[in-house]
Amino acid sequence: MNLLSLNDDNFNKSVQSGVSIVDFWAIWCGPCRLMTPVVEDIAKEMTDINVYKLNVDDHPELTAKFNIMSIPTVIIFKDGVEVDQTVGVVSKSVLVKKIKNYI
């Protein structure tokens, strides 16, 4: 599984090449816990993309940079540029369909 945690130091380098998804989450967030298996499944199955998690409590500057107002938020990046996002709990099929638009 290619599921990694992001931080202020590695964020830009991590999303700069190819298709990446970043799950903005927090430990206390119930809906975030519902999204975790979805994101983990995508990380296991879609090995041609990068899948990351970013704890909003630990990284408030990155959270603000991307105007994250609600979590969970999953942002899709293509070559370092934000191209799509989902807010709230979404099904795996919805997220996979969005990702496939950019592969």
pLDDT reported for residue 5: 83
Q: Of the residues 6, 32, 38, 51, which is catalytic?
A: 32
Report the length, in residues, of the chain.
Answer: 103
Provide the number of structural domains found in the chain: 1
Domain encompassing residue 37: 3-100
CATH number of the structural domain spanning residue 56: 3.40.30.10
Q: Active-site residue 72, yes or no?
A: no
- pLDDT tens-digit profile, the chain (103 residues): 456 789 888 999 999 999 999 999 999 999 999 999 999 999 999 999 999 999 999 999 999 999 999 999 999 999 999 999 999 999 999 999 999 999 9
pLDDT reported for residue 4: 76
CA distance 77 to 29: 23
pLDDT reported for residue 33: 96
Q: Of the residues 3, 29, 89, 90, which is catalytic?
A: 29
In 3D, which of 27, 73, 19, 88 has the Cα closest to residue 51? 19
Q: Active-site residue 29, yes or no?
A: yes
pLDDT reported for residue 12: 92
